[in-house]
Amino acid sequence: MKRYDLIIIGAGPAGLSAAGEAASLGMKVAVFDENARPGGQLFKQIHKFFGSKEHKAKIRGITIGKELLEEARKLGVEVFLNSPVIGLYKNHEVVVRQDVPNEPDSASGRNNHEECVMHYKGDSIIVATGASENMLAFEGWTLPGVMGAGAAQTMMNINRVKPGNRVLMLGSGNVGLVVGFQLLQAGCELAAVVDASPNIGGYGVHAAKLSRTGVPFYLSHTIIRAEGEGEVTGAIIGQVDNKWNIIPGTEKHFDVDTICIAVGLSPSAQLLKMAGCEFKDNGGGWLPVCTPEGETNIKGLYAAGDVSGIEEASSAMIEGRISAASAANSLGFLGEAELRTRLGELERALESLRQGMFAPQNRGRIAEKTDEGCDTSMNLLTKGYLDDGEVAKYPGVKMGSGIRPVIECAQNIPCDPCRDACPKGCIKISGSITALPEFDESACCGGCGLCVAACSGQSIFIVDEDNGKVTFPYEFLPLPEKGESGVALSRSGKELCAASVTEVKTLPAFDRTALVTMTVPREYVNRARFWKRGEFHD
C-alpha cells in the first residue's frame, strides 16, 4: 500500500489549489480524479473571473486551470486520472479503481491494461469532489435533447460539440446565465431563459449580457412539458402563481431542439458519508460539519470547495489552500506562527468574496439597499436589463459631452478589475470590492478601452456623444469588419437603428475580448449597447 503525506480526491479548482499549496510546503501529494483530464470545471469556464487580483479576477477559467496544473507539475504532485475513488475510510485509507499496465503483448509489443482496485494511505485527506447538477422532472424530460447546463458546457468547451441549434434554458442562476451566453458563443440560438422565481437568480451583469443580444427572460414561469417523439422538438412553459401552481391559459410554446436545465447544484459528498463524517441541514441540503479550515469530525480528513457548500470557483480555490495549510501544520510541515499568517491572508481573501447581496448569508433575501448602502437595480433582478430612463442614477454613469467610459455595474458583487485596469486611476471603488465603481473623468484619456476589456461582467462602454459612437465588448466569432453595416440594439435587445462598424480593436492585453465601435445617430448613443448583423427595419 503506497503512502502519501496528503491525498486529494478531485482535481478541480479546490483540489489542484490544495495540491499546489501542500507541495510548496514540502508534502508528498497525490491527487486522484475520475476524469480523463484534470481541472474540473475550470476548463469549461471560458469567461473571465470576478473578484480581485488575488482571486484571479479578469482571468479566464481555462487559463487558471493551466496555471494550477503547471504549479502542481513543477512541485512534483502525482496526479492520477481515470482513477475514481470508490472507498474512503476513517483510517485515511483510500480505495481507487485504476487501469494498471501488464507485461507487453508479445505480438504487438504494446502494454495491455487491467482494471484493478488499488489501496493508498494518506496521513491527511482532502475531499474536493465538487458538486453535481440537480435535475428537474417534467413530462418528456427523458427525451434526447434534455440535458444539464453543465453537460452542454462540457460538449461545447471540452469536446467542441454544438449541443443544439435552438435552446431553451431553465434556470437564471449564474450557471444558467453563463452557459446561456456560451451557447450563443458556440453558434446556438437561445430561445429564452425561464425561471419559476419572480427574480433573476444570478449576477445582473450576466443577465444584461444576454438581454442586450435579444434573449428574453420569462420569470415566474416553469416548464410544463417537452415535446417530441424520439427527440426534443419543442417545449411548453407556463406562468406560476405565488404557490408555484401553473396559471391556466398562460401556456407558451417554443420550437427548440434542446432544453438545458440549470436548477442548482448538490455537493458530491458520498465519500464523506462513507467515511462516517457528520452532516448538518443548512436549510437547502445536507453539508458536512467542518471547522473553518475544512476539517471534518474525523481528524485529518478535510472537505474543500463545493462539496462543503456551493460557491464560486474562486472561493473553492481559496478553501483548498486553507485546508492544505491546516493539514501541513498538523503534520509538522508548517509552524504555528506561519500557519496563522497564511490563514490570515487566505481568510481575508475568502471573506471579501462572501460579501454583498449574493453572499451566502444574504441568499434568499433581496433588498434595494445592502449593508454597503449601494443602490442595486431591481430591473436587473426582475427584467435582466437596466431601463434606459433609470441608468443615469447609478454612480458609474455620467452623461455629458466628449469621449468617456460609462460603467453600468449596478449590483454590489465582489469584483474590482476595472479599478486595476485603468493606468491613470480613473475608476474608484471605495471600501470593499463589492462597492459600486465610480468614474473620475479628470484624467481619463477616453479611448484606451482597458477598462472595457477588463470588466468581467462586460458592463463598461465608451460613449462619444459628439460623434455618435459607442464602443462595447464583443466575444463572438466571426468578428465584425470595419465598415460592416448592421443593427444597433438597446439594453433590452430591442432594435434601435441602423449602425455601422467603424473600428474593431483586438490586443493581447484584452485577452480575447474585442472592442467594437459602432456609429449611430447621436440621439441613440446613450441607449445603443450592442450590434448585430442584418438590416434595420423601422
Distance CA 174, CA 179 (A): 8
Asked whether the beta carbons of 127 and 301 are under 8 A apart, the reply is yes
Same domain, 153 and 255: yes
DSSP-assigned letters across all residues of 313-330: HHHHHHHHHHHHHHHHHH
Is the domain of 123 the same as that of 140? no
Amino acid code (one letter) for 338: E
The answer to whether position 376 is within a domain reads no
94 contacts 86 by C-beta, under 8 angstroms: no
Domain that holds residue 167: 135-262
> Which one, of 52, 64, 76, 68, lies nearest residue 17 by Cα?
68
Based on the fold, state whether residues 253 and 276 are members of the same structural domain: no
Amino acid at 158: I
Place of cell 499549496: 21
For residues 239 and 316, membership in a common domain is answered with no
Best CA proximity match to 210, nearest among 228, 225, 189 = 189
> Cα 127 from chain centroid?
21
Beta strand pairing status for 111-127 and 2-9?
Answer: parallel
Among 244, 262, 280, the domain-final residue is: 262
Domain end: 337, 353, 369, which one? 353
Q: Are residues 270 and 140 in the same domain?
A: no
CA distance 485 to 535: 8
Q: 108 and 82, same structural domain?
A: yes
Residues 521 and 390 in one domain: yes
Q: How far is CA 370 from CA 172, 352, 387, in A?
A: 21, 15, 21
* 497 and 420 in a common domain: yes
The total number of structural domains that make up the chain: 3
414 shares a domain with 398? yes
Q: How many CA atoms lie within 13 A of 478 on its CB side?
A: 5
Query: What pLDDT score does 391 carry?
Result: 67
State whether 230 and 296 are in the same domain. no
Cα-Cα-Cα-Cα dihedral sign, residues 447, 453, 454, 458: positive
Q: 146 and 86: one domain? A: no
Is the residue at 79 inside a domain? yes
Is 370 a domain residue?
A: no
Element (H, E) at 241: none
Domain assignment present for residue 179? The answer is yes
Using CB atoms within 10 A of its CB, is residue 27 exposed (0-12), middle (13-18) or buried (19+)?
Answer: buried
Statement to judge: residues 52 and 77 lie in one domain: yes
Radius of gyration, alpha carbons of the chain:
25
Cell output for 309: 457548500
What is the DSSP secondary-structure string of 124-142?
A: EEEE---EEE-----BTTT
Is 372 domain-assigned?
A: no
Q: What is the mean pLDDT of each run of 10 residues along the chain (538 residues)?
A: 96 97 98 91 92 89 94 96 95 93 63 84 98 96 97 95 98 97 98 96 94 97 98 98 96 98 96 97 86 97 96 95 98 98 95 78 50 51 78 58 82 87 86 82 82 94 94 97 97 97 96 97 94 93
Establish if 360 belongs to a structural domain. Answer: no
Domain boundary at 353, 369, 397, which? 353
Residue whose C-alpha cell reads 489549489 in the numeric block: 17
CATH code at position 60: 3.50.50.60
Residue 373 lies in a domain: no
